[in-house]
Chain A
Amino acid sequence: MLLTVEDLHTRFITRDLDDRVRVAEALNGVSFGVGEGRILGLVGESGAGKSLTVTSLLGLLRPPARVTAGRALFEGRDLLALSEAALSEIRGSRIGLIVQSPRSALDPLARIGAQLVRVQRVHRRISEADARSRAEAMLVSVGIPDPRRRLEAWPHELSGGMAQRVVIALALINEPHLLIADEPTTGLDVTVQAQILDLLHEQVRRRRIGAIVITHDLGVVAQYCDDVAVMFAGQVMEQGAVAEVFARPAHPYTRALLASVPERLVLGTGKMLGGPPPDLYALPRGCLYGQRCAHAAAQCAAPPPMSATQSGAARCHFAGLA
C-alpha cells in the first residue's frame, strides 16, 4: 500500500457566544488504502467529508478544524505526525493535489505560466527556461490549445474547464507519487474529461503511482477506478473493488446511490430518496445512516462494525447477510 489511512477523526471545535464548546464531528473513523498503480474512487454524499479527508491528510486544515485521532502512512511516514515544514515539502512534490475549486487554487494575481514555473522551482533546481518549456508541454498534455499564449493568460480569463485543466497541470508537473484529485473533471465536457482521465490513468499505470479520485460521477468510477470507497457522514460505509461493489452493493447507502444515477431516474415521482444529512453536532449513537435507511432495525441503534462482504467490506449490521 502506498497510502494507508486508519481511523481518521476530524472535528470542528468552536465556542459559541455563551462560551459553550460546540463540536462538529465531521470525520468519524475514515479508513482506506491506496495501492501502487491503482486508482481509488472516493464517492459519497455531498458534505460527507471527502474533501475534508484530503485536507486532513495533507495538513491543510484551518482552525477550528482539528485532527483528533488517526494515522496516515505514506511511504513509511505518518502524515498526521509530520511537521508543517516536512508536509509542505511533500505536498506538491511527492503528493500532487487537485483541489475542488479551480478558481481559488489559482493565484489571481499571477499569470498561468508564472504559477507553473513557480511550483517547479519551489521543489527542485531547474532553470527558468526549462521550467517554462516543461510548463508548455504540460499544458499540451492536459489538452489546452495554444499553450504558449495561455501561459501569458490571467486566471480570470480562462473558462471554468480551462482553469480546471491548469490546476491539473499544476498537480502533475512535479511527477508526484500519489495524486489526489478532488472532482478533477467536474466542469469539463466529456471528451476532455476522457482525455484527462486517460492521462491520469496512463500516469498511474506507467509510473506505478497511486491516485485518489473524488467524484460524484459514477461513470468515472466505473470506467477508470480500480477500487471504490463510499462515504457517508464522515465514515467509509463500503469499500472494495469497483466491479464487485457495483455488481453486489452490500450497504443500503451504496444501493441507494447506485439507484439514483440519472439514467435510472424518473422525474416528478414526488419523493426522491434521501433526507437531510445527519446533524454533525448531534450525531446519532448507532448507525449514522440509520435515519435514512429503509432496512433499519433494532440492532442499528448500536454502531455497526466494518464487516467483510463478498465484494469487500461494509459498515452495516446486515452487510454479511446481503
Chain B
Amino acid sequence: MIATMLGFAPLARARGLSRRSPMAAIGVLILALFVIAALFEPLLTQYDPVAADTTALMKPPGGAHLFGTDANGMDVYARVLRGTRYAFGIAIPAVLVAMLIGVPVGLLTGYLGGWTDEVLMRGFDAMRVFPSIILALAVVSAAGPSLVNVVIVLGVLDAPVFARLVRSEVLALRSGGFVESAVAAGNTLPRLLFVHLMPNALAGAMAQSAVRAAWAVRISTTLAFLGLGIQPPTPEWGAMIRQGAEYMVTGQWWVGVFPGIALILLSLGLNLAGDGLSELLDPRQRKAG
C-alpha cells in the first residue's frame, strides 16, 4: 500500500514515470484497477460473493454471471472482486509488519555494527536457508490458519529482506559526515536512527515494498491453496483456486482460472510498479539514468 500510495499520490511523479518507464506505468495502472476493485466492489457487481444460490450451480461464464458460478452457486466474478480485498488485506499488513521489524533492526545493526550486527545477521542468514514457503507452512500449521497468523508469519519471514536493505544503506551513510555531525550536536540514539538515518536509508526498502507485497500475495494464496490459510467459502483467491482445481478435469475451468488470472495480474502489477519505484527512489540509479 505504501508503495502504491507513493505511486499514485504525487501525480506529477506519475506523469514523469509514464514517460521514463512505460512498463512501470502499466504496473501502476493495473494496481489502480485492483485498488478500485477492492474499494468499490459492491458497486461493480449486484451479487453477494458468499450468497449461495441453489438455482444457479456451476453456470458457465456469460449471461447473468460474467465469470460463471461455482458449486455453491456463488458468483465467481463477485468472489474474484472480493478476493482483491483479501489479497491487499494480507499483503499490506504483512509488508508493514516486515518493515516494522526489519527497518529498526537494519538501522540498529548497521549503525552499531559489532556483535549485535553479527548475531542478528547470522540469524537472518539461517532463516534464509529454508525456502520461505516451507517455513510459512510449518509455522502456520503449528499456529493455526487464521488471517492474523498468516499476516504475522509472512511479516516475520520477510523482515530480513528489509533489514538487509536498510543495513547496507546505513553502512554507506555511517562513514559519511552528517551522521557524525548529528552525534556532535548531541542527538540521542533513537533520534539518530529514526530522524537522521531512517529517511536517508529507506529509499531501497520503499522501492522493494511493492515487490515484497507481490511475494506476500503469492505465499498467502499458496498457503490457502494448500488448505492452510483462509478456509472456503471465504472468497480468497488461493482457496478458490483449490476449489476450482477439483473441477478442472471435468471441464468447469472458470471456477479456478479467473482467480488464477487475478493473482497473476496483481503479481505482475506489483512487480512492474516496484521496478519503476526503485528507479524513482534509488538515487544511484537515478543519477546513472
Contacts and interface: CB of A to CB of B under 8 A. Distances in A.
Do these two chains really belong together in a complex? Answer: yes
A313 B172 CA distance: 48
A32 B208 CA distance: 47
A103 B181 CA distance: 15
A109 interface: yes
A217 B176 CA distance: 27
Which size bracket describes the interface of B in this complex? under 10
Contacts of B176: 103, 108, 156
B177 A108 contact: no
Interface in B156-183: 172, 175-177
Contacts of A109: 172
Contacts of B175: 108, 156
B247 to A, nearest CB: 55
Nearest to A63: B16
Interface string A79-119: 00000000000000000000000010000110000000000
Contacts of B177: 103
Contacts of A103: 176-177
Nearest to A157: B175
Interface string A151-171: 000001000000000000000
Interface string A120-144: 0000000000000000000000000
Interface string B24-38: 000000000000000
A156 B177 CA distance: 10
A19 to B, nearest CB: 10
Nearest to B287: A62
A156 B176 CA distance: 7
Contacts of A156: 175-176
A232 to B, nearest CB: 30
Nearest to A156: B175
Interface of A: 103, 108-109, 156
Interface of B: 172, 175-177
8 contacts: A103-B176, A103-B177, A108-B172, A108-B175, A108-B176, A109-B172, A156-B175, A156-B176
Cβ-closest 3 pairs across A and B: A156-B175, A108-B172, A109-B172
Given A103-B177, A156-B175, 6 more contacts: A103-B176, A108-B172, A108-B175, A108-B176, A109-B172, A156-B176
